[in-house]
Structure 1
């Protein structure tokens, strides 16, 4: 079970391929605020709702200085299909080895329909301009989560 991050922790750096196979690096975003969200699988109902919510609010978040990166264990090809099908504007990156998911505490045991399973824990980590964790939210709901982030951040 990976350790969960807490405010003040240094956000683990990562470089992962986006939907087009281009590297996306957290280190390249120093000086900017980044919302990194972790979701179980592209093209599933809850994850689609969450990605569409982030896309719908991207302008608002960007206006407040936030970039959004979605991380899942899907391969880049599936992320490309997801992006095209749903007209997503958020940056989606692939972590098939689950190394980044684990480093952020977003992979491990969770309850699913009353059973304990190992998988992606829907989580959001907000990283400040210095690369420190500002907020770390675990076991978030797919629906209404983006609105709550916007409210909590006072945007």
Structure 2
């Protein structure tokens, strides 16, 4: 995981509609970048729905939320439509941003070891420097945790 105070790596990835979105799009504003393992799984759905429920609060603060996983654009489309997600989901099947942000790790599940995305969230400042970093965040608490940080609670 990248540390607070680190310059956030630049990337360009497609959204669910195939539009290329660059991290430079958010230059000059604070934004949330969260990495999650897989669309439509229980934890990832909880996390996405929590960000969706808090979307108005994020909008009021002028802070965009962007989710990234290695799922396909089509998978992101279905996931966003089914859960009415009002924020960007970016597809990273080549692991470009996932590896640049150091969230591709060895994971153990039921005694089996594999590589995968560790649920990680970053708040990136207007200057492109990481202001907050959380690894293995709780899916149902992450959106509120970030709001608390953003509002100084």
* TM-score with structure 1 setting the length: 0.92
How large is the RMSD of aligned CA atoms in angstroms?
1.3
2: CA distance between counterparts of 1:106 and 1:62?
26
Residue 130 of structure 2: aligned partner? 133
* 1:150 and 2:147 are equivalent in the alignment: yes
In structure 2, the gaps of 5 or more residues are none
Deviating above 6 A after TM superposition, structure 1's stretches of 4 or more consecutive aligned residues are none
Instruction: Within 5 Å, give how 1:4-153 maps onto structure 2.
Output: 4-153=1-150
* Contact 2:31–2:124 (8 Å) recurs in 1: yes
Structure 1 residue runs without a partner (length 5+): none
The answer (yes or no) to whether the contact 2:32–2:124 under 8 Å persists in 1 is yes
Residue 92 (structure 1) shift:
0.3
How many residues align structurally?
152
After superposition, give the CA deviation of every residue in 1:9-39 in whole Å (9 maximum; x if it has no partner).
Answer: 1100111000000011111210111100000
Greater mean deviation of Cα atoms: 123-132 or 101-110: 101-110
| Whole-Å separation in 2 of the counterparts to 1:114 and 1:66 | 39
